[in-house]
Amino acid sequence: MVKISSTSASRKKALSKKLVKAVKRATKLSYAPYSKIAVGAGLYCTNGKIYTGVNIENSSYSLTICAERTALFKAISEGEKNFHLLLVYSPQIDFITPCGACLQVLSEFASDIVVVTMDRKENFKFYPIKELMTKPFSIR
């Protein structure tokens, strides 16, 4: 977890640099011997904390966990409840987006989150989760 100090004008620039750096650093810890696709995610909370996650594969594919859910579950396990955005990155796939399972989980815990995808040149695309997951399952 990384905490970003809150200075008004330079806050976005600092956030961008720290978040990108944290996600790229985390991506190197990915365990992806089957797909060969490393994915890192950084969940930025409204209190300024960043939780990172990576994909962790398993030979029993259904037991694999994606980077996005790893970051989210780390944050939730630390008591976080308010999320602002999620940055997702893969050095193998430009502008990789979360899978359906991740979108479903995100829609329950962070229904207004913005998903940010990034390419290797640090260009960004922004998607409100409601654009990526238009009809999430819910029993409420």
Side-chain half-sphere exposure of 55, counting CA atoms within 13 A:
24
Where would I find the beta strands (DSSP E) of the chain?
2-3, 40-45, 49-54, 83-89, 114-118, 124-128
- Region for residue 95 given its phi and psi (left: phi exceeds 0; alpha: psi -120 to 50; beta: otherwise): left
Burial letters for 17-49: b for 16+ Cβ neighbours within 10 Å, e otherwise?
ebbbebbbebbeebebeeeeebbbbbbbbeeeb
Question: Which position among 57, 68, 80, 131 bears the catalytic label?
Answer: 68
Query: Is 68 tagged catalytic?
Result: yes
Residues 6+ apart with CB under 8 A from 45: 51, 75, 80, 82, 83, 84
Catalytic residues: 68
